[in-house]
Structure 1
Amino acid sequence: MSELGVFIDESGDFGPYKTHAPLYIITLVFHEQTRVDISKQIEHLKTRLVEQGLSENHAVHSAPLIRKEGDYVTFNLVQRRKIFKVLFDFMRLSDISYKSFIFHKKELPNHDALVSRISRNIGHFLRENLDYLMSFDKIIVYSDNGQKEITNLVNTLFNAYLEAEVRKVSPSDYSLFQAADMFCTLALLEEKLSSNSLSKSESTFFEKESKLRKNYLKPARVKLFKSSQQFRRF
């Protein structure tokens, strides 16, 4: 039986537009679970996290890591960069793909308009790729049920188009949740670069914009979900 895993994470909130938080981003990470074994990459990730002074089951959260917040307040800049690279290398070496949806809250008048736009864009994406998605015998959507709007959208859209199984899980239980989190962060950073609005902590963390583009944004694009990818049966 062929099986596709879809891991969903988001960045931002459904509150009104604010200058310091103008975007809402949602990312889907795709893993062909019965075809592609990433157990070695996961074990390597766990080993590297322990080497950096973290638990092997630690769920890396990219944005707090960059800002030196939460679990990372005691880590210096060099240590935090190493942790970031550990997760990035896991993503780079794993045979996965992703799709990020970016919404500019300033363009949307209210909460309902944002929810509607997200639903329309993700629905369009699913319809556009139905041949590929329906080539799997089973689709499992993994969500942490963090925001009720996303929970409702996931249940409605994935059940309507694909009759997918939706599972509520903890990010610490699945390394690909952490990948989805980092892809969200990278999408946000790319948007900020385009408007010259990187924060001080972001500029310090990556040193130079050229390093951010070369070392992270460009390699991440290799993992973008290709809407034209070939229909496959197993």
Structure 2
Amino acid sequence: MLALRMQLTPAPNATRTIPAHKPARHAGTIAFRHSDVILVNTQIVSNADLQPPGLSPAFFLSGSRMRECSIFVDETGETGRDARQSEYFGVSLVFHEQDDAVLPLFDAYQETLANKHLPDIPLHTEPLLNGNGPYRSLPPSERQQLLRSFLLMVRKLPVSYVTFMYEKSDFRNRSTNSFDSPRLRSRLTRDIATYLQNHLLYFQQFDKIKRYYDNGQKLVVCALDDAIHDVISTEAIEARLASQVDYRLAQVADFICTVELTARKYRTSHQTQTDIRFFGSEKEFRKNYYRIVSRLQMPEA
């Protein structure tokens, strides 16, 4: 149902589209599944003759109900002049089908915070872990409770995700000994496009895809837009500016991106004292956090 929206104006003697829930009978002799043919002006024509390339046959038979998918984006790591401040660069995409209710889970999370006498601060994991910004006045024990409460909400959410994580050392320009941002952008674009292509049947279920991102890094914006537009029709995409303050699912993307980064750091023995203080040993982290979050990863196509 992604790709171009197509208007069909029936002729006065046109027959109706075959219902999706049962076979049709024409002149009492021929029965077809809806995936095989459509009846137009009493002539039998194939879907291939009617649909634009990449358009699902179900588009013509699903009625007027719009299906939408939201993609919430967050990144970790610096690029450009600040690239040396971190060893990794990662981008997480969190997918939510807008038919799936999330507000009751958000309400339950707020109730949990109120019962524990914890502030409902829009989750931003970097300042939370380091005690900066709005978390400056909170002791580590309360910040740990905030992180754990958020995890317990995330594990129940009807979302899925994918994370692309890179070691910056793989993108160093040897001649200038500097970080090669264009090469990382090219790699990220290719990886996202390949992922979308591999899951194209899933994304073709939707009439519209809304991409939410705070536009924090131009490299990510360009890679996302290039990849999405290469694979999915531009008419189906809507880009929206989003921050953790405005969208709870943007906070989810931030949280998942941090968990995936922490998993990579433990795996390569680059964990920090802050990681150990909040998550414990690698075994404890994997049991108490990563095992829970990684269950939400979108299955391989």
Q: TM-score, normalised by structure 2?
A: 0.71
State the 1:218 CA deviation: 0.7
> What is the CA–CA distance in structure 2 between the aligned matches of 1:112 and 1:227, rounded to whole Å?
28
Selected match of 1:137 from 194, 200, 207: 207
What is residue 59 of structure 1 aligned with on the other side?
A: 122
Selected match of 2:168 from 105, 115, 119: 105
Selected match of 1:73 from 136, 147, 170: 136
Selected match of 1:38 from 102, 111, 120: 102
> What is the CA–CA distance in structure 1 between the aligned matches of 2:230 and 2:239, rounded to whole Å?
12
> What is the CA–CA distance in structure 1 between the aligned matches of 2:263 and 2:67, rounded to whole Å?
34
Mark the structure with the bigger radius of gyration: 2
Size of the aligned set, in residue pairs, is: 224
> What is the CA–CA distance in structure 2 between the aligned matches of 1:104 and 1:76, rounded to whole Å?
32
Q: Tell me if structure 1 keeps the 8 A contact 2:102–2:157.
A: yes
State the 1:53 CA deviation: 3.6
What is residue 150 of structure 1 aligned with on the other side?
A: 220
Report the 3-state secondary structure (helix = DSSP H, G, I; strand = E; otherwise coil) of the residue aligned with 2:161: strand
State the 1:52 CA deviation: 4.3
Q: Tell me if structure 2 keeps the 8 A contact 1:66–1:80.
A: yes
What is residue 161 of structure 1 aligned with on the other side?
A: 231
What is residue 50 of structure 2 aligned with on the other side?
A: none
Selected match of 1:114 from 161, 179, 184: 184
What is the alpha-carbon root mean square deviation over aligned residues?
1.6
Report the 3-state secondary structure (helix = DSSP H, G, I; strand = E; otherwise coil) of the residue aligned with 1:93: coil
> Counterpart of 1:224 in structure 2: which amino acid?
Q
What is residue 267 of structure 2 aligned with on the other side?
A: 194
> Structure 1 residue 125 and structure 2 residue 198: aligned?
no
State the 1:68 CA deviation: 1.7
> Structure 1 residue 210 and structure 2 residue 283: aligned?
yes
State the 1:207 CA deviation: 2.9
What is residue 76 of structure 2 aligned with on the other side?
A: 11
State the 1:227 CA deviation: 2.5
> Counterpart of 1:108 in structure 2: which amino acid?
F
Q: Tell me if structure 1 keeps the 8 A contact 2:192–2:224.
A: no
Q: Tell me if structure 1 keeps the 8 A contact 2:92–2:253.
A: yes
Q: TM-score, normalised by structure 1?
A: 0.90
Query: Relative to total residues, which structure has the larger helix share, 1 or 2?
Result: 1
For 1:82-105, what per-residue CA distance to the aligned partner results, in whole angstroms no more than 9, with x for missing partners?
100121111101111110000111
What is residue 227 of structure 1 aligned with on the other side?
A: 300
Structure 1 gaps of 5+ residues are: 229-234
For 1:174-206, what per-residue CA distance to the aligned partner results, in whole angstroms no more than 9, with x for missing partners?
111111101110111111111222111111122
Identify which range, 67-76 or 102-111, moves more after superposition: 67-76
Q: Tell me if structure 2 keeps the 8 A contact 1:48–1:86.
A: yes
Report the 3-state secondary structure (helix = DSSP H, G, I; strand = E; otherwise coil) of the residue aligned with 1:173: coil
Q: Tell me if structure 2 keeps the 8 A contact 1:24–1:103.
A: yes
> What is the CA–CA distance in structure 1 between the aligned matches of 2:280 and 2:229, rounded to whole Å?
44
> Structure 1 residue 180 and structure 2 residue 250: aligned?
no
What is residue 58 of structure 2 aligned with on the other side?
A: none
Q: Tell me if structure 2 keeps the 8 A contact 1:67–1:202.
A: no
What is residue 4 of structure 2 aligned with on the other side?
A: none
Q: Which runs of 4+ in 1 moved over 6 A?
A: none
